Chain A
Amino acid sequence: MDFDLSEDQRLLQDSLAKLLKDKYGFEQRKAYLKSETGWSREVWAAFADLGLLGMPFAEDDGGLGYGAVETMIVMEQMGRALTLEPFVSTVVLGGGFLRHGATPEQRSALVPMIAEGKLLMAFAHTEQQSRFDLHDVATTAKKDGDGWVIEGRKGVVVHGDTADQLVVTARISGGRRDRDGIGVFLVPADATGVTRRGFRTSDGQRAADITFDAVKVDAAAELQGGLALVERVADEAIAALGAEAIGCMEAAKDLTIDYLKTRKQFGRPIGSFQSLQHRAAEMMVCLEQARSMAMLAAMMASERNDDERRRNMRAVKIEIGRNARFVGQQTIQMHGGIAMTMEYAGGHYLKRLTVIENMFGDMDHHLAALSEEGGVFVAA
């Protein structure tokens, strides 16, 4: 095993870090946040120039053929800078569905556009009743000649308001909570019958509620793989979000340590109080434990045994969630009032970490599932 980055990986990390340093200062971020899209098209174009958007796709499809480790490296930097662009939606989720579920024809049509920054995607899955269960799908897709008619409603579709293509789950057969009978469809966001209502998420980013009212798509819109495909892509997203959380946690920890060294009360730096020192040390313990899990996630992202992969991803989500919560809360607590304000970065890390914690299943959801599945270390 080797936990060091290769030369190329380091280069990737450094060039993204430099880009974000130039383009993603906290003040610049505020301006992006307030804009119409809620993120920056200019930065998105810069991501394309850097090759980030074509990263995980096979070279044959017009991508760079990078793997989960590269995604981890990129996401960690994105987390540090609290970026707002639809990278997870378009590249990780959209890209994941294309890589694992699309035909070569579909890929050759869409991947180059993604890589060039010309196509945005979003994953329309969650429903009002489904909570975090990936197999709970009430939206329906009915055969209609060669194609399909989709009917239903999806909620909190992250970046759903700016996406060009939606990946939509819909029930082809069976009951609402059956594991079988779930179809996955590519639906253009401007298709007749698609209504989107955009809104802000609690961390300031954008999402949408989307209704599908007798939306017609042709046969080629169906991706192959059903629930297994959804789970696989969700697991890749968990790995990416985990790495993003590491970036957030690390930046939050650094910000806090700096503050402990400079903020003076009672005539000395507050970092000289042992109760805060120990808590700062505990932040580091949390960060390192979480970082290990982010690495486990990168390792497991390409695991072929679905069972093994899922089990480990659940552990990743639980452990990163737990530690992220502590780091986020302590960032505010040890800053005192200042981190309660919109004007200061500290609180925004807690907000982003909270949103990450609640995407693709919170700690309790995965704890319940993992314990049901026999835990991490399965006894014979």
Chain B
Amino acid sequence: MELRFTDEERAFREEVRSWIDANLPAETRERMASGRTPTKAMQVDWQKRLYAQGWAVPHWPVEWGGQPWSAIKRFILSEEIQSTPAPSPLGFNCNMLGPVLIAFGTDEQKKHFLPKLASLDLWFCQGFSEPGAGSDLASLKCAAKREGDHYIVNGQKTWTTLAQHADWIFLLVRTDAGAAKQQEGISFLLVDMKTPGITVRPIITIDGAHEVNEVFFDDVKVPMANLVGTENRGWDCAKFLLSNERTGQARVGASKERIRRLKLIAKETPGGARPVMEDPRFRSRLTDVEVQLKALEMTTLRVLADENRALSQRKPNPASSVLKIRGTELQQAISELYVMAAGPYGLAAPHDPEADGRNEPDVAADWQTLAQATYFNWRKQSIYGGSTEIQKNIMAKAFLGL
């Protein structure tokens, strides 16, 4: 056991930090720091900079633009990105689809798509969920029928995050309705969003944001060449992808940044007799969350170190399930702390100069008006990417033998 970062790792952290400082546009940094999501242009621009530096997809094999780094080194990079805060590389491209293509794609697919995924020349979205298939993903109905060298896709996807920005979508479709097991008739397809027959309809979430969409497929023609892996074996790709999706959600670096920022804000926020930060109850609640976050940080490092060592064995680490459950709980808890700090002025809805029907400015500080919106929005954290309940079912079954 060596329970400290090495000198090399510490030096690397410094290198990353100063590179980000030198390269992150001020506008992007400000928007991120205010607690908003980056615009599409900001995301693309930033990811291209990371790509040019070789840092967009360090976890991929070197031949596809990855780095021969330890998991700890990759952790340091992503933590620095999150805690600046800067936009993280687009998860759909880099953490979900990329690894699937590397594991299951044809040579042509790899050559064509991987560089574009890493550089964000193509923006992908994830078309898994359907109205009737949420937690029970394998019950999906969206169908693809073979016709010559094409599939014809018909059906609906929902909750498709950022489909309004996406150039392409990766889809799970049913290619064999008669398979003995639901999981056996599913295929994994890549679809150009410009193909005729695709309609994207916004879903507005309770915080007023347009983040998710419904996507409809009406006789959409998809070349056979866009099938990933084997027909009817798409579930293998899906399972592989979902396990990557889940470990990516602890976001400890982002939570640390949110806490540090909250401390600064709360110091400046009057709370009657004294600043909010000097309210003992607020402080102890905040500290309690910090302690739990510290534990989660250690758990993350354990999982990463283990991943490094046991790559060949590929045995799942029980602690990795803790990351999604506790990571999202802590993000939600931090969002509640912001609501508390905002107090009565947090009742004002956010003023977003880019949105139509904007709220009138100046009624409260920007962060105050965002506090409740973020709290509402982050209720999603324990629902998507495998709900907390589903994670616990997995733990009970896979690790506890229940």
On chain B, the residues within 8 Å of A368 by CB distance are 279-281
Pair B272/A177 contact, Cβ less than 8 Å: yes
Given contacts A199-B360, A340-B383, whether A355 and B347 have CB atoms under 8 Å apart is: yes
- Residues on A with C-beta less than 8 A from B339 are 354, 358
Note all chain A residues with C-beta closer than 8 A to B387.
333, 336
Residues of B within 8 A of A347 (CB): 205-206, 376, 379
A29 at the A/B interface (Cβ < 8 Å)? no
- CB <8 Å contact, B373 and A202: yes
Which of B107-115, B129-137, B192-200 is the interface stretch?
B129-137
Would you call A133 an interface residue if the criterion is a C-beta within 8 Å of the partner chain's C-beta atoms?
Answer: yes
Residue contact A342 to B204, C-beta cutoff 8 Å: yes
Chain A 328-353 near chain B by CB (<8 Å), digits 1 or 0: 01001100110111110001101100
Tell me whether A199 and B359 are in contact (CB under 8 A). Answer: yes
Contact (Cβ within 8 A) A136 B206: no
Q: List chain B residues, Cβ under 8 A from A342.
A: 204-206, 208
Inter-chain CA distance A70–B170, complex, in Å, is 57
> Is B32 interfacial (CB 8 A cutoff)?
no
With A340-B379, A340-B380 known as contacts, the answer to whether A201 contacts B272 (CB < 8 A) is: no
Query: What 0/1 pattern do residues 342 to 355 of B give for CB contact below 8 A with A?
Result: 01111111010000
- Choose one: A132, A264, A276, A332; the contact of B344 (CB below 8 Å): A132
What 1/0 flags go to B340-383 for Cβ under 8 Å of A? 10011111110100000001101110000000110110011011
The answer for the CA separation of A110 and B134 in the assembled complex, in Å, is 55
> With A128-B270, A129-B272 given, is the CB distance from A199 to B348 under 8 Å?
yes
A359 to B339, CA, bound (A): 12
Would you call B348 and A207 a contact (CB within 8 A)? yes
With a cutoff of 8 Å between Cβ atoms, the chain A residues found around residue B136 in the complex are: 265-267
A264 to B134, CA, bound (A): 10
Structural contact, B270 and A202, CB atoms closer than 8 A: no
Is B389 part of the binding interface, using a Cβ–Cβ cutoff of 8 Å? yes
- The docked-state distance in angstroms from the alpha carbon of A337 to that of B280 is 36
Contacts of A340 on B, CB cut-off 8 Å? Answer: 205-206, 212, 379-380, 383
A20 to B279, CA, bound (A): 42
Asked if residues B272 and A131 are in contact (CB atoms below 8 Å), the reply is yes
Q: Is A250 part of the contact surface with B, judged by Cβ < 8 Å?
A: no
The residue that B389 contacts in the complex, of A136, A202, A273, A339, with Cβ under 8 A, is A273
Q: Considering the complex, which residues of chain B in the window 120-156 have a beta carbon less than 8 Å from any beta carbon of chain A?
A: 129, 132, 134-136, 139
Chain B, range 163-213, C-beta contacts under 8 Å to A: 203-206, 208, 212
Chain A residue, CB-CB nearest to B360: A199
B384 an interface residue at 8 Å Cβ cutoff? yes
Q: Is A156 an interface residue (CB 8 A)?
A: yes
Residue of A nearest to B207 (CB): A202
Contacts of A267 in B (CB 8 A): 136, 139
- Answer yes or no: B92 CB below 8 A from chain A CBs: no
Q: How distant is the Cα of A158 from the Cα of B373 in the complex, in angstroms?
A: 18
Check if B204 sits within 8 Å of A341, measured CB to CB: yes
CB pair A265–B348 under 8 Å, yes or no, is no
Contact B349 A199 (CB under 8 A): yes
User: How far apart are the CA atoms of A198 and B351 in the complex, in Å?
Assistant: 13
Interface pair B205/A207, CB less than 8 Å apart: no
On whether the beta carbons of A156 and B134 are closer than 8 Å, the reply is: no
Would you call B344 and A358 a contact (CB within 8 A)? yes
B159 at the interface (CB under 8 A from A): yes
Q: Mark B87-120, 1 if CB is under 8 A from A, else 0.
A: 0000000000000000000000000000000000
B273 in the interface (beta carbon within 8 A): yes
Q: With A329-B379, A337-B159, A350-B206 as given contacts, are A275 and B392 in contact (CB-CB < 8 Å)? A: yes
B203 touches A336 (CB 8 A): no
Q: How far is the CA of A155 from the CA of B129 in the complex (A)?
A: 43
Min CB distance B265 to A, Å, is: 14
Would B360 and A198 count as touching, CB distance under 8 A?
yes
Name the B residues within 8 Å of A337 (CB-CB). Answer: 129, 134, 158-159, 212, 380, 383-384
Q: Does B216 contact A (CB under 8 A)?
A: no
- Residue B75 interfacial (CB < 8 Å): no
Nearest CB in chain A: distance from B114 CB, A: 30
Report 19 cross-chain contacts, Cβ distance below 8 Å, ordered by A residue: A126-B345, A131-B270, A131-B344, A132-B272, A132-B343, A177-B273, A197-B363, A199-B359, A202-B348, A333-B388, A336-B134, A336-B383, A340-B206, A340-B380, A342-B205, A347-B206, A351-B206, A364-B279, A367-B281
Given A333-B382, A337-B384, A342-B206, 17 additional A-B pairs, CB 8 A: A126-B345, A131-B276, A131-B343, A132-B344, A197-B363, A200-B348, A200-B359, A201-B347, A270-B135, A332-B379, A336-B383, A337-B158, A340-B205, A340-B379, A350-B206, A351-B206, A358-B343
Q: Which 6 A-B pairs have the closest CB atoms?
A: A347-B206, A133-B272, A202-B372, A129-B270, A265-B136, A342-B204
Q: Which residues of A contact B (CB under 8 A)?
A: 126, 128-133, 136, 155-156, 158, 177, 197-202, 204, 207, 209, 264-267, 270, 273, 275-276, 329, 332-333, 336-337, 339-343, 347-348, 350-351, 354-355, 358-359, 362, 364, 367-368
